[in-house]
Structure 1
């Protein structure tokens, strides 16, 4: 069983590119997350992903597969009136769930991304209807994926973690949640109070964290300590039974220094809290 003493983990992220994976593995991560693209869910891509998972599993057992973020130049919205996009979501999620089952790993699926309110209104008629459409999809994948699937929050109004009433609905649906700290902070317009309340409310359902800083204005994916998130407040509110990675934008995909320095930063926060 995972414990407060172990958490947070050195969690690193990479694509399925062998050079990126080799660089991460030299750092001996305790958690590894694969960033995938549509190319990774073709038959050849799935075979390559399986081989890369087997390689990582030689040293790292806690592995998350991140469902593709983009498709044909746009974000992959799981609730959409685009039939072709819906077909891609169905096929890709089904394929990656099978990989997760076969390899004893986890699949992360986004509830939404950053669809603007005007688009939501045009497509669904209202934000409430858009949320209902997202929940219907998440219910389906919860039932299909069981303990192999988790759902990540977004900046979009259709799947944020900033609304206590909506959070209560998510808890009632018994979802396994992935929590991106920066997404909540941005959706909360830079409010650490909203972030803290959200972390506290949803902690029992969170199984995986994307720990990342932000200025709270846009999707900037900053190293911890370089944004405006108050990590000394955040740290005690995290669920120590979850896993985590540091989802930091890298200037060079073959150099994970910013991810590793973020882990060192949070370790210092943890140690200071333990002494107080």
Structure 2
């Protein structure tokens, strides 16, 4: 079946040498670094740059830098009001600029979350209403899109802000021309475990998706399961992926120094691909 693209081996790791070493032994097609606030000290930035050079030399030039999820135990939420959280906002923008500098220097990509979920409502409640909060986030994403150009992408959440699974929300996102990262589990959870809605979202956004987080889920909470262990219908998902996009398996690992669950997910999806091509 020509409509089915061969799955890429996309692996994710922190910047620790043991994690990078483990991933590189599989010769991944795509490598995503999950950064944290310690990577943005002078020493941390030097280590991250070394790791980028290392992965480029040993494995692949398809590298994504995932913006840090937390700063001083708070989520790096764009919706957090600057007048209440000035240090958080400062870190969000400074760290994004640091990553984009690497992205332009090494021709790689930066991934930023449009929103998260756990503390999002706490921040939304600081606005007069949800729509004001949404527009604040869109305004900042517009700014970051202009700053990052062809080196930045935005990932969907399971919060009331910047999510996939609803045509009207997706239309607003598409209208702004963002380069998109599509997390299958986030969308599936937002769709309350409805595979049909997940498939519609994949088709609707396909032209602007540049990167996928392939993750299984039971569709009820953020569980980040190995592919084949949840309720996502991967046989129907595989033909809907943008063939020009990269992808990684963003799976919960039992040991951060062993990509076992990521590799098992790739084997599962590859078996579906092989069956579909017979």
TM-score (normalised: structure 1) = 0.95
1:76 aligns with 2:76: yes
Which shows bigger deviation, 208-217 or 118-127? Answer: 118-127
- Which among 182, 196, 203 is matched to residue 179 of structure 1? 182
Contact kept, 8 Å, 1:209 with 1:244, in 2: the verdict is yes
1:125 aligns with 2:128: yes
- The aligned residue for residue 150 of structure 1 is 153
Report the secondary structure of 1:123's partner residue: coil
- The aligned residue for residue 231 of structure 1 is 234
1:203 aligns with 2:206: yes
- Report 1:243-254 matches (<5 A): 243-254=246-257
Deviation at 1:5, TM superposition (A): 7.6
Runs of 4+ in 1 over 6 A off after TM superposition: 3-6
Report the secondary structure of 2:15's partner residue: coil
Evaluate the alpha carbon distance shift between residue 32 and residue 119 of structure 1 in structure 2; reply closer, same or farther with a 3 A threshold. Answer: same
Contact kept, 8 Å, 2:75 with 2:119, in 1: the verdict is no
Evaluate the alpha carbon distance shift between residue 56 and residue 129 of structure 1 in structure 2; reply closer, same or farther with a 3 A threshold. Answer: same
1:190 aligns with 2:189: no
1:165 aligns with 2:191: no
Q: How far apart in 2 are the matches of 1:76 and 1:148?
A: 20
Report the secondary structure of 1:201's partner residue: helix
TM-score (normalised: structure 2) = 0.94
Contact kept, 8 Å, 1:120 with 1:127, in 2: the verdict is no
Contact kept, 8 Å, 1:4 with 1:240, in 2: the verdict is no
Structure 2 residues without counterparts, runs of 5 or longer: none
- The aligned residue for residue 111 of structure 2 is 108
User: Could you give the per-residue CA deviations for residues 66-95 of structure 1, whole angstroms, max 9, x where no partner exists?
Assistant: 000111112110221121111111111111
Contact kept, 8 Å, 2:4 with 2:239, in 1: the verdict is no
The count of corresponding residues between Structure 1 and Structure 2 is 273
Report the secondary structure of 1:112's partner residue: coil
Contact kept, 8 Å, 1:120 with 1:126, in 2: the verdict is no
1:64 aligns with 2:64: yes
- The aligned residue for residue 93 of structure 1 is 96
- The aligned residue for residue 138 of structure 1 is 141
User: Could you give the per-residue CA deviations for residues 140-180 of structure 1, whole angstroms, max 9, x where no partner exists?
Assistant: 00001000100000111111111101111111111000000
Q: How far apart in 2 are the matches of 1:5 and 1:63?
A: 23
Evaluate the alpha carbon distance shift between residue 41 and residue 7 of structure 1 in structure 2; reply closer, same or farther with a 3 A threshold. Answer: farther
CA RMSD of aligned residues (A): 1.5
Evaluate the alpha carbon distance shift between residue 118 and residue 28 of structure 1 in structure 2; reply closer, same or farther with a 3 A threshold. Answer: closer
Evaluate the alpha carbon distance shift between residue 5 and residue 185 of structure 1 in structure 2; reply closer, same or farther with a 3 A threshold. Answer: closer
